[in-house]
Structure 1
Amino acid sequence: MRRLAGPLLSVGMLCLALWALRALASEVSYREVARYVHSLENHDIILAVLLTAASYGVMTLYDWFGLASIGKRLPRAQVTLISFISYAFSNALGMALLISGSIRYRFYIQAGLSTAEVAKVVLYCTLSFWLGLFALTGVTLLLVPVPPFIPLAGLRIPAGIVLTLIPLLWLGGSRLIRKPLRVWRWGVSLPSPLVAARQVLVGAIDWGLAAWVLYLLMPNEVDTGFGHFLAIFVLAQIAGLVSHVPGGLGVFEAVMLAGFGATGNQGLEAPILGALAAYRLIYYFLPLCAATVVVLLREARGLRRKSLLAPWFTELLPPFFAGLTLVSGAVLLFSGATSALPGRMEVLRHVLPLPVLEASHFLASMVGMCLLILARGLQRRLDAAYVLTLVLLLLGAVLSLLKGIDYEEATLLSLLALALAPAHQLFYRRASLFSATFSMGWIIAILAVLGCATWLVMFSYKHVEYSNNLWWEFSFYHGGAPRALRALVGATAVGLLFALANLIRPVRPTPHLPTETELDRALPLIKHYSSAQAHLALMADKTLLFDDEGKAFVMYDVEGRSWVAMGDPIGNDEDARRELVWSFRDLAERAGGWPLFYQVRPEDLDLYLETGMNLIKIGEEARVELGGFNLDGKSKKVLRNTVNKLKRDGMRMEIVPADAVAALIPRLKPISDAWMRDKGVREKGFSLGTFDPRYLARTPMALVWQNDQLVAFANLFLTDSKDEASIDLMRHVPDGTAGIMDFMFIELMQWAKGEGFRWFNLGMAPLSGLQNRRNAPLWSRLGAMLFGRGERFYNFRGLHKYKDKFDPEWEPRYLAVPAGIALPLVLANVASLISGGLSGMVRR
């Protein structure tokens, strides 16, 4: 419910705003609004564009002063570029802190700033943004009366005092409070009066320029002074920001219309709406288009130079293109809901048959709905979505020209197609478009766009009397309403058909244990994979998910809602491995589960980051580099003496091939049973092997003999590539000679070194390497505490200390999880899988 609360609030506010706009502009027609936009003087438009440029120029001071506050200097052009891109996107799309913060993080990290420094700059800019708005709003409310019919107008003075006090307290805070303020786990030092004044002043100028742009575009009849206009403007902006609707769309317009309508400006609703529409185009849309071009040129240049920009390009551009495709689909739907300009229709009447016009209008709206659906496929990096989007963008551009010479739409769609064309490598997934899952947020976004298009049809043609004959009316001059209705029904039908196709798609098979045929299919991939951990698939206790061509697979099990994959995808084909991460995630989400990847390696983190998953460190794995391994030196004296003593006592090691293991099972079983009784433990699973004769017979075995008595054994994981050797199940007689385990490890490492293996894997030490520092994440601090004080539950420190005496290299291991899931429950599910059930979690 917490995840749905934000989108549902935004949709609710949008619906309320559309209802208010319809009520406030009940006598307004779409033609009147369009007529006012086209009647704007050229010099007013040019001045508005210049003021918009000045406003975005002032916004760069946020970043300049933010960097100065942390003692950092970057090239002027670089800071200006970063600031412009971040504000162009955040102003148009909303969610300012998330969007502008993410963009700044990407660019400033590349510029050499640390994460903490980027966070300080983002905090500085955000505070300046709000402090300027509060200061301007508070002073305006105190000096200028607002219309008495606006809700809460009677609270003007108290609200103005409160809003003015906030920046005043910020200005004098450093004099009153010497110590840093504690905000949860962070300390915030109040700035000096000079720095604070700079923040407030820049923010106020920024908002003042934004208001001036709209003031120029407003009709002269409502001009009662800039102060009065400013009072309504800042209240509307606050309402739009609080609503969380992208760009405050609808909410800002409703408050502005209510504010000016309450001051005796009835009958001027159409010019006011026209001014607001022009303001959206000039102040939001033009900077967004410019920023889009700048980003594409910058990142394309970075790719040609093979610079460090490629990871940012790869990770962020697919969702970026998805967002632009969503916007393009909305533009086509909104265009289909309104009538074309009469002058352009007059031109079409002489060069185009009426059936072509009607078909183009109908198909354009259907293309718009298809683009809304394909946007999700682009976010999921689907190759089919990429190809279809390119085709439909070009088709939409042609249809826009045929249905009304809408060259503005055609240009937008064509530019997006040109930007998308060279990015084919980013959309590598061969999965079906119908396999893409649609989250609640995406469903709400598509429905919101369709709802806005429906509202726009009702608003544009509310003067037309509805009748059944209206559906079948075809005309150049009087066919706007019928065309809009037919186009809306066509777009809705496309959405319903796609939803129906998703509902009736074949049900995916439920997880099942692998057959011998599947194990034989997986064995070559296991043997040629770089990590010996892949041999855990031979336990046959986990489901194997192969890619379509059988070049890679994922092994996984299900516990509760958690679909847990053991390790990274196994295989040497990177495209197949990357596709499997997406396929596994889609499979789990369609079943209502949480996709997890347990014990993933650092070199494969990009596979999970690009799918939007979070990474949580769960421990470290010990790997010994065999090229430099020996028993020389003082640090290895104890191990050297132990091995030499046991050899003198008649201890030796033997390596048995896999085909000879089955005959040894009767001799190995008593040793395993005795070891488990002595330790008081039960068999684990999932990430650890069990004493299963079928499993043990699939791998070679290391045997330790003392004279003629078998005293220990361990099954071996050996890769054909000689990259890594490891052991899984290791058991020894309880009353055997001390040091058997040390002897086995040393002998195995020396044997593996002689066989040409590069690494010997000693396995993972859970919770090792987690930090218990004040600023560390909560999970890291909790894990570090368990590592240090949880010996009652598990021998965390002892296990790490034992493996550390072999001088391994410790590599971090992670758990990849989707954002927003219940982490404690997920960890409990993983522990249950390893322990063999809930009862195993409370028993050793």
Structure 2
Amino acid sequence: MVEQRGADAPETEEALTRPRGAWLRRLAGPLLSVGMLCLALWALRSLASQVSYREVARYVHGLENHRIVLAVLLTAASYGVMTLYDWFGLASIGRKLPRAQVTLISFISYAFSNALGMALLISGSIRYRFYIQAGLSTAEVAKVVLYCTASFWLGLFALTGVTLLLVPVPPTVPLAGWRIPVAIVLTLIPVLWLAGSHVLRQPLRLWRWRVSWPSTSTAARQILTGAVDWGLAAWVLYLLMPNAVDTGFGHFMAIFVLAQIAGLVSHVPGGLGVFEAVMLAGFGATGNEGLEAPILGALAAYRLIYYFLPLCAATVVVLAREARGVAGKVPLAPWFTGLLPPFFAGLTLVSGAVLLFSGATSALPGRMEILRHVLPLPVLEFSHFFASMVGMLLLILARGLQRRLDAAYVLTLVLLLLGAVLSLLKGIDYEEATLLSLLALGLAPAHRLFYRRASLFSATFSVGWIIAILAVLGCAGWLVSFSYKHVEYSTNLWWEFSFYHGGAPRALRALVGATAVGMLFALANLIRPARPQLRLPGEEELARALPLIKHYSSAQAHLALMSDKTLLFDSESKAFIMYDVEGRSWVAMGDPVGEDEDARRELVWTFREQCERAGGWPLFYQVRPQDLDLYLEVGMNLLKIGEEARVKLDGFNLDGKSKKVLRNTINKLTRDGMRLEIVAADRVPALIPQLKTISDAWMRDKGVREKGFSLGTFDPAYLARTPMALVWKGEELVAFANLFLTDSKEEASVDLMRHLPDGTSGVMDFMFIELMQWARGEGYVWFNLGMAPFSGLQNRRTAPLWSRLGALVFGRGERFYNFRGLHKYKDKFDPEWEPRYLAVPAGIALPLVLANIASLISGGLSGMVRR
């Protein structure tokens, strides 16, 4: 039988949906981006009302080769300057990494963040994951990311401010009257940053943040690097602009930097639409009426050269490196193999968007003329229709690749090849076919990276991801409207099939087909089986878990036997996670239990997805250093929460001056007739009345209540599942502790420990010493004394805020818990201190999470304020 959760526990659905404001906060950012995108597309349509798609395409195809080559070279120079952000950032914290590694990480991060937008989120997350694996601490990675971000904005502010001060803005441009005040403010920011680094030596306090000033040379290097980067980016577009737009580089720069700031502030991925609308409005206000089509063509070419081309170059670099790794010529480092799944996911997303956008526009007339002579019309129509459906499927499968699903890998590989063939059949679009084929070629040998056997419908789609797919689909719809706005709509248009005049009907049908695929997938997700209610494990589940517990390397896995936590098994019962829910926090106790690494890794993904479907926060409490890659792989952050004391038994003894007090205590108590007895689990039920008497007396004396979750409680059913250590004084039982013993003899530990309050002093010291000596005689390698919360956290000026806060609690939190005393007591047994971490998703309310964990351990909110 499965036991139902008690009435005092949080109700799963209600508890998880209670903070309705959190949903609004999660939706606000993505919805704002979509709103700005819609506004920008509306503005573009209004500004280019007399422009046809063919005019734009004609300008792009008519660009001179020497201008394109020079623009490509300047783009390469700009991305080369971007790598200096990372080099100088690492130098500022005194760290040095291999040149190839830093260059590749920097180039990949900027190729993605420039093309997809959300620079801080995308490039910051890439840097965090791979610099952590390269040996940097969380604080060091944060400093590098902060350095790069500050350089990016300082350079933009400096370039924008100086340009607006020197170059008048046309009066018809919005906010032109504010040019001088805006220029002064933007110029003052880098000037003050530079002056502060030269004059001030004390850190600047901004609310609860403290900003340390860089050296003067570092500050100047930040501003100069950022300004050169932005200057090169502007030069690329200036080369591509039509010759008839003759406003001078200064006027061009003024409009360019304002458009870039508008695109960045809008939070629309890549500033798509927003940047173009501001540029078009700016040049239209400078007397360039009638040049809307060439300007839009230059902007389209700029997108292709400055954003899409580096993305393709990054693809080639990564694929070439992976191919060499498969051939065994270059061993792939863990940081590189960890980069590949999100890299392939991003490229798949881009490939799907390319197919949708291609399906929304008309094919080149010359290519259509060739197809008319070699291809039947039905083949063309079906190819166009299914190519857009493949594009929508790739948008969906990109999420599966990010989650490392095996089924997503196979389907993506098939669809990429199918999309390449369809691209050739629908318009001889060899550019798209080449992109898709290259991605398929790189993806093919990477099967080992997509190891999860979970269903595609198990992959959760975040709000941001859903809105990204809808945004791509919306842009495709806008392209259909823009490309064929001069075509009069009628119901007969849907059924028109023709080589020469069938572009608009084909685009409409393709858009409907892609939308239908997305809606069917969404419907399939909505009607999937409901998430099962959380239930406490019964005897059958505990029996399934017991072999895994006994063979696991950590004795703390025995906490599952308390039956106060839900057990989540993998499909083959090779591993399980024990967890409980408090508020929105789904807290897993420790690492996944089991020896099968694939099953343990899959469980981390499954647990996270289960939490996301319920709107909860997945947390892993007290995880070990050797398993940190499990959580980094799913994009979680790690916070050190303390250290665990483990005694190496083969070197443990009572010799030496430092053990004199312990040695004297043990000798005295032994002479007084104290002895240790180990009893098997089947003998424990008969001892429960005696044990309860000791437990009740101990709790009355301490004035405490029973804890839970990570600590044992006096539950007869739980105690009867483990062996027991008994301490006798003559014929009187004075203390007891239940034992956690692994069959592998890797580790022994204790959980619930109680003793008579009026018993002999030193009884717990006696118990620990005797247990360690007994465990050593039984062949155990380690004896686990448990964790000391907040131990080992640093309170240095350069330490992250979390570490300093934890160190403060450790040193001054005696009012709530004996943190320092607990560490001191365990330390006298000369243990090896091993760090323990809390794995959390990014962007959570950390104080609330910590309160939820404390509530679980303390048995409720009232227990948090009682000892």
Matched with 1:638 is: 661
C-alpha RMSD over aligned residues = 2.7
| Separation in structure 1 between the aligned mates of residue 545 and residue 144 of structure 2, nearest angstrom | 50
Residue 438 (structure 2) aligned to one of 415, 422, 431: 415
2:829 counterpart SS class: coil
Counterparts of 1:332 and 1:232, CA distance in 2: 32
- In structure 2, what residue type is equivalent to 1:352? L
Match of residue 692, structure 2, among 659, 669, 692: 669
For the pair 1:548 / 2:571, whether they are aligned, the reply is: yes
Structure 1: segments with no counterpart, 5+ residues: none
1:709 and 2:732 matched: yes
Bigger CA drift: 476-485 or 673-682?
673-682
Shift of 1:452: 0.7
Distance 1:195 1:734 in 2: 63
- Correspondence 1:286 to 2:294: no
Q: Which residue of 1 aligns with 2:33?
A: 10
Say if 2:261 is the partner of 1:245.
no
8 Å contact kept, 2:323–2:442: no
One-letter amino acid of the counterpart of residue 397, structure 1: A
How does 1:335-484 map onto structure 2 within 5 Å? 335-484=358-507
Cα distance in 2, alignment partners of residues 175 and 668 from structure 1: 69
1:123-150: CA deviations, max 9, x gaps?
5554454444334433433443333221
Partner of 2:119: 96
| 1:526 counterpart residue number | 549
User: CA–CA distance in 1 between the matches of 2:87 and 2:620?
Assistant: 41
Structure 2 counterpart of 1:270: 293
Partner of 2:678: 655
Q: 735-744 or 120-129, which moves further after superposition?
A: 120-129
Q: State the Cα deviation string for residues 665-704 of structure 1 (Å, max 9, x = none).
A: 2332222222222222222222122222222221111222
Is 1:189 the counterpart of 2:222 in the alignment?
no
Matches within 5 A, 1:150-229: 150-169=173-192, 177=200, 181-182=204-205, 185-189=209-213, 191-192=215-216, 200=223, 202-229=225-252
> Residue 301 and residue 170 in structure 1: after superposition, are their counterparts in 2 closer, same or farther (change >3 A)?
same
Distance change (3 Å), C-alpha of 1:157 and 1:792: closer
Are 1:110 and 1:308, in contact at CA under 8 Å, matched by a contact in 2?
A: no
Distance 1:547 1:107, change over 3 A: closer
Instruction: Report if aligned partners of 2:133, 2:334 keep a CA contact under 8 Å in 1.
Output: no
TM-superposed CA distance for 1:551, in Å, is 0.3
Task: Assess, with a 3 A threshold, how the Cα gap between structure 1 residues 760 and 27 changes in structure 2: closer, same or farther.
Answer: same
What secondary structure does 1:222 align onto? Answer: coil
Shift of 1:160: 3.5
Return the alpha-carbon distance in structure 2 between the equivalents of residues 51 and 158 of structure 1: 32
Task: Give the Cα–Cα distance (whole angstroms) in 1 for the partners of residues 548 and 590 of structure 2.
Answer: 14
Letter in 1 for 2:358: S
1:577 aligned partner: 600
CA contact 2:745–2:779 (8 Å) conserved in 1: yes
Question: More displaced, 299-308 or 713-722?
Answer: 299-308
CA distance in 2, matches of 1:123, 1:824: 23
Moved more, 415-424 or 567-576: 415-424
Give secondary structure in 1 for the equivalent of 2:244. Answer: helix
Name the structure 2 match of 1:683. Answer: 706
In the other structure, the counterpart of 2:7 is none
Closer, same or farther: CA 773–299 of 1 in aligned 2, 3 Å: farther
Change (3 A) 1:338 1:679: same
Choose from 506, 513, 527 the match for 2:529: 506
Unaligned stretches of 5+ residues in structure 2: 1-23
Is 1:20–2:43 an aligned residue pair?
yes
Distance 1:801 1:360 in 2: 73
**Which stretch shifts more, 657-666 or 272-281?**
657-666
Query: What is the match of residue 594 of structure 1?
Result: 617
SS at match of 1:765: strand
CA deviations on 1:432-467 (whole Å, 9 max, x unpaired) are 111111111111111111111111111111111111
Which amino acid counterpart does residue 814 of structure 1 have in structure 2?
Y
Q: Deviations over 1:479-535 (max 9, x none)?
A: 111111111111111111111111111112111111211111111111100111111
Describe the shift of the 1:726–1:300 C-alpha distance in structure 2 as closer, same or farther (beyond 3 A): farther
Contact kept, 8 Å, 1:724 with 1:759, in 2: the verdict is yes
- CA displacement 1:204-254 (0-9 Å, x = unmatched): 444333333222222222224333333322222222222222222211111
CA deviation vs aligned residue, 1:560-583 (integer Å, no higher than 9, x gap):
222221111110000001111111
- Give the conservation status (yes or no) of the 8 Å contact 1:185–1:775: no
Q: Provide the residue aligned with 2:586 in structure 1.
A: 563
**Distance in 2 of aligned mates of 1:174 and 1:792:** 41
Q: What residue identity is the alignment partner of 2:779?
A: G
CA separation of 1:233/1:838 partners in 2, compared to 1, >3 Å: closer, same or farther?
closer
Distance of 1:252 and 1:25 partners within structure 2 = 14
CA apart distance, 1:110? 7.8
Taking structure 1 as reference, are residues 176 and 765 closer, same or farther at Cα in structure 2, changes over 3 Å only? closer
Following TM superposition, by how much is the alpha carbon of 1:175 offset from its aligned partner in structure 2, in angstroms?
5.8
* Secondary structure in structure 2 of the residue aligned to 1:189: coil
Mapped partners of 1:527, 1:74: distance in 2? 42
The partner residue of 1:836 within 859, 863, 866 is 859
Q: Distance in 1 between matches of 2:95 and 2:766?
A: 56
CA–CA separation in structure 2 for the residues paired with 1:835 and 1:111? 38
Q: Distance in 1 between matches of 2:93 and 2:760?
A: 62
The correspondence of residues 131-150 of structure 1 with structure 2, limited to 5 A, is: 131-150=154-173
- 2:348 alignment partner in structure 1: 325
Query: Is the partner of 1:817 in helix, strand or coil?
Result: strand
Distance 1:135 1:784, change over 3 A: closer
- How far did residue 590 of structure 1 move? 1.5
Q: Corresponding residue for 2:11?
A: none
Structure 1 residue 662, shift from structure 2 partner:
1.9
> Percent sequence identity over matched residues?
88
Work out whether residues 3 and 820 of structure 1, in 8 Å CA contact, stay in contact via their aligned partners in 2: no
Find the aligned partners of 2:98 and 2:849 in 1 and give their Cα distance. 46
Look up the equivalent residue of 2:809 and give its one-letter code.
Answer: L
Report SS of the residue matched to 1:221: coil
Q: For 2:494, what is the secondary structure of its paired residue?
A: helix
> CA 1:305–1:767 in structure 2 vs 1: closer, same or farther (change >3 Å)?
farther
The one of the two structures with greater contact order (alpha-carbon pairs below 8 A, sep at least 6) is 2
SS state at 1:592 partner: coil
Distance 1:648 1:140, change over 3 A: closer
Q: What letter matches 2:451 in structure 1?
A: Y
CA contact (8 A) 1:299 1:310 kept: no
In structure 2, what residue type is equivalent to 1:820?
G
Q: Residue 18 of structure 2 aligns with which residue?
A: none
Q: Give the TM-score, by structure 1 length.
A: 0.94
Q: 1:353 offset after TM fit, Å?
A: 1.2
The separation in 2 between residues aligned to 1:778 and 1:70, in whole angstroms, is: 17
Q: Which moved more, 1:645-654 or 1:658-667?
A: 658-667
Q: 2:20: which partner in 1?
A: none
Q: Distance in 2 between matches of 1:109 and 1:433?
A: 30
User: What letter corresponds to residue 798 of structure 2 in structure 1?
Assistant: N
**Structure 2 match to 1:604:** 627
2:203/2:210 contact within 8 Å kept: no
Distance in 2, matches of 1:411 and 1:348, equals 19
Contact 1:564 1:595 in 2 (8 A): yes
Query: Which residue type is aligned with residue 568 of structure 1?
Result: D
- Contact 1:185–1:774 under 8 Å retained in 2: no
Aligned residue for 1:714, secondary structure, equals strand
The separation in 2 between residues aligned to 1:190 and 1:550, in whole angstroms, is: 54
Quickly say closer, same or farther: Cα 1:715–1:164, change in 2 above 3 A. closer
Within the candidate set 749, 752, 765, 1:729 is matched to 752
- Tell me, yes or no, if structure 1 residue 486 matches structure 2 residue 496: no
Aligned pair partner of 2:281 in 255, 258, 276: 258
Taking the aligned partners of 2:592 and 2:607, their CA distance within structure 1 comes to: 10
Higher deviation after alignment, 268-277 or 178-187? 178-187
Structure 1 residue 195, shift from structure 2 partner = 6.5
- Pairing partner for 1:757 from 780, 788, 803: 780
The structural deviation recorded for 1:88 is: 3.3
Q: State the shift of 1:104 in Å.
A: 5.6
Q: After the TM superposition, which of the residue ranges 22-31 and 415-424 deviates more from structure 2? A: 415-424
Identify if the C-alpha distance between structure 1 residues 190 and 720 changes in structure 2 by more than 3 Å, giving closer, same or farther: closer
Give the Å deviation of 1:381: 1.4
